Amino acid sequence: MGNVLTTAAGVAVTMALGNPLGAAIAAPILALFGFRDTGIGAGSMAAFLQSAIGNVAAGGIFAALQAAGMAR
């Protein structure tokens, strides 16, 4: 699970830096895990992780992925 989050976080950071190729790759990957432009998808891996984390801290990996997913 950690490797998946680390990879997704790396893609999100690439997207956040404005790399066009990173953005093209990040959007479908983030959506696949439930980080969508409308928020966390119900029943997705992201929803499961959010329920396990509880209160999501600003600046964390989950928050970065959520922000990147909504930045499309």
Q: Where are the domains of the chain?
A: 2-70
Residues 13-53 have pLDDT tens digits of: 665 556 666 667 778 888 999 999 899 999 999 999 999 99
Residue 68 exposure: Cα atoms within 13 Å on the Cβ side? 32
Residue given tokens 């983030």 in the structure block: 30
pTM as predicted: 0.68
Q: Kindly list the distances between the CA atom of residue 65 and the CA atoms of 8, 31, 71, in Å, as whole numbers in the listed order.
A: 7, 10, 10
